[in-house]
Amino acid sequence: MEHETAFVFPGQGSQYSGMGKDVAEAFPAARRVFYDIDAALGFSISQLCFDGPDDQLKLTENTQPAILAVSSAIHAVLEERGATRRDVVAGHSLGEYSAIVSVGGLTPAEAAAIVRMRGRFMQDAVPAGTGGMAALIGPSTDEARAICEEAAEGDVLSVANINAPGQIVIAGTKAAIDRAIVVAKAHGVRRALPLPVSAPFHCELMKPAEERLRPLLDEAHFKDLWMSLVSNVDASPIGTATAVRNALVRQVASPVRWVESVQKMIAMGVKRFVEIGPGNVLTGLIKRIDSSVELINVSDVPSIEKFVESVR
């Protein structure tokens, strides 16, 4: 069968103060999701989404459940309006949890509780200020790996996110990241810039976080998915509760293979990508991966109304 439509869900970096507010005000289905997540977390993440403050929203342990809450609330509205015909799902890093929620693997509240701890474990894995990430604009994945090898000098430094052609994020110790920026410029890389993140995600330094997350994921009540999820870690479709749990454990310290994941979905017949959640980061990345596909962004009340109208 042709897989025409993929729903994709954004990860960290898409957050902004005010996200989801109009959606919660307009739709009871969205309010229910926020209410359930607030109850599960024991504090009002919805208030943090709607009103900030930004410095609190930027803390990884808040950012992760906040983005998941907004994505899940928007998806719940689409579901209620009968606008969730899709053939495959995926999410970028944290967004993988939103994708799993969207196809019945976890409830929004269960997923939010897990990602809050995931954020905390990732933050705790490396003392503040000792790890970092940088974006390299221009090089191929192989060139980025070579830069990491040259700059590592015994420190952890590796490719963390393969986001789009010529857009690679690397992660490692702060010292290694600083060296990599110099090495990258010597190799003629167009731009090499440190990212404003609080920890070096998706590299070996996250192993302690992986070990702490594993028991949480082991005891979570995963269900088999209603349809395939293309996982970050293998860029291949999975669907059973066991495979999903395993992918989420490995995802923490492994690179996000976003380019291959999108290419896999296109190979499966996807012609239309619908990004569900705050911002439009994935829409921009997918456009750079393959400009021939149709891209739709559903992030607020006007875009929800427009999308629901288009699929009627």
Active-site residues, by number, are 93, 202
Task: Tell me the C-alpha to C-alpha distance, in Å, between residue 171 and each of 23, 151, 180, 185, 254.
Answer: 35, 12, 10, 17, 11
Residue type, 3: H
Pairing of the two strands 191-194 and 229-230: unpaired
Half-sphere exposure in the Cβ direction for 259 (13 Å, CA): 15
Type and span of the H or E element at 23 = helix 21-26
Cα gap 281→16, rounded to integer Å: 12
Cα gap 176→124, rounded to integer Å: 19
Cα gap 211→186, rounded to integer Å: 37
At 175 the three-state DSSP class reads helix
Contact assessment for residue 167 and residue 285, using Cβ atoms and an 8 Å cutoff: yes
Type and span of the H or E element at 168 = strand 167-173
